[in-house]
Amino acid sequence: MSARVIDGKAAAARLRLLVAAEADRLKTEHGIVPCLAVVVVGDDPASAIYVASKNSAAREVGFVVRDMRHPASLPARELLDIVGALNADKSVHGILVQMPLPESIRTREIITAIDPAKDVDGLTPLNLGRLMIGEITVERGLVACTPSGALMLLKEAIGRDLSGRHALIIGRSQQVGRPLAHLLLQENCTVTIAHSRTAGLATLCRTADIVIAAAGRAELVRGDWIKPGATIIDVGINRVPAEGGKMRLTGDVAYTEVLQNAAAISPVPGGVGPMTIACLMRNTLIAACIQAGLPQPEVQPHAI
């Protein structure tokens, strides 16, 4: 068997088109142009690449971008003031504080300060809590972008009904593993969450119909860990040495090995990454509608 490769780039392009069409309608019918504020602190090189992609995607779908850059020396107090000012600014619909923040700043304190209605990353305690109790779903409200994108790719590969499947998530971070676990529970999957202290990861993996790898460990998941016919979503982005002293990107899954056993696999790059950015666009559109008291637009995952 050779797995089907799930084309995240194509799925993301379709989702961005839907967002652009809805943004156009919002402008024509209500005079609203969604505005995304992107706050960057410091000069992390990987962040610079992600922020450039987010800014250009936002402009392409017709949003206004407020690109705010600050030196790594910015005191936490001042960053809180910046977030407070963006919360109060009615012309700003979405606030994204790019991670990682410098070590001198307590990340959780900054995320908690973001107005949940403008929380396009879906990471404030209120939005994470609403997701946990099922008030927020992938179809309604502001859900963290990478978990939403991963779920949409899963549905792209398997279809809309994921009921009864055993999903193994490798990684329990607040931004990926945990929100994804709640999304998959909402889909009636049986969910196992693994982490760095999990015993017998390979054996667990062999029981999973769905494996979502989000550990940040290059090629952790091997070909012989995969149950034949399983679907694999690789969230990991790792930079590893390549020929000629260069670096290349690889996921958390040993791609060529897993291709032999799996039914479908998302590649790195070209899988979850582009979907994360498209979901950020979707969330910004949703946030603009929520703030204007309009119904959430029909930019539904199953439309991709």
Ligand X SMILES: NC(=O)c1ccc[n+]([C@@H]2O[C@H](COP(=O)([O-])OP(=O)(O)OC[C@H]3O[C@@H](n4cnc5c(N)ncnc54)[C@H](OP(=O)(O)O)[C@@H]3O)[C@@H](O)[C@H]2O)c1
d(CA 162, CA 170): 18
Candidates 17, 132, 185, 201: give the one binding ligand X (CB under 6 A): 201
Give min distance, CB of 277 to ligand X, in A.
Answer: 8
Contact flag: residue 194 with ligand X (CB under 6 A): yes
Confirm whether 89 is a catalytic residue: no
Contact flag: residue 248 with ligand X (CB under 6 A): no
Confirm whether 9 is a catalytic residue: no
The dihedral of CA 79, 85, 90, 91: what is its sign? negative
Evaluate whether 235 touches 213 at the Cβ level (below 8 Å). Answer: yes
Contact flag: residue 9 with ligand X (CB under 6 A): no
Stretch that binds ligand X, among 61-69, 110-118, 194-202, 282-290 (CB under 6 A): 194-202
Beta bridge partners of 238: 250
Site string for ligand X, 106-135 (x = CB under 6 A): ------------------------------
Candidates 2, 104, 198, 207: give the one binding ligand X (CB under 6 A): 198
d(CA 278, CA 187): 21
Contact flag: residue 98 with ligand X (CB under 6 A): no
d(CA 227, CA 107): 38
Candidates 6, 58, 220, 289: give the one binding ligand X (CB under 6 A): 220
Side chain identity at residue 247, one-letter code: M
With vertex at residue 286, the alpha carbon angle to CA 277 and CA 47, rounded to the nearest 5 degrees, is 25
10 Å CB burial of residue 196 (0-12, 13-18, 19+) is exposed
Give min distance, CB of 32 to ligand X, in A.
Answer: 27
Stretch that binds ligand X, among 19-27, 58-66, 155-163, 212-220 (CB under 6 A): 212-220
Confirm whether 54 is a catalytic residue: yes
Candidates 47, 53, 190, 238: give the one binding ligand X (CB under 6 A): 238
Q: How far is CA 7 from the centre of its chain?
A: 16
The three-state secondary structure class of 63 is: coil
Stretch that binds ligand X, among 125-133, 134-142, 166-174, 222-230 (CB under 6 A): 166-174
Q: Considering only CA atoms, which of 284, 242, 235 is closest in space to residue 95?
A: 284
The catalytic position among 119, 121, 234, 252 is 121
Exposure pattern of 206-223 as b/e (b: 16+ CB <10 Å)? bebbbbbbbbbebbbbee
Give the residue numbers annotated as catalytic, written as ranges.
Answer: 54, 98, 121
Summarize as ranges the residues that interact with ligand X (CB under 6 A): 146, 170-173, 175-177, 194-198, 201, 214-217, 220, 235-238, 272-273, 276
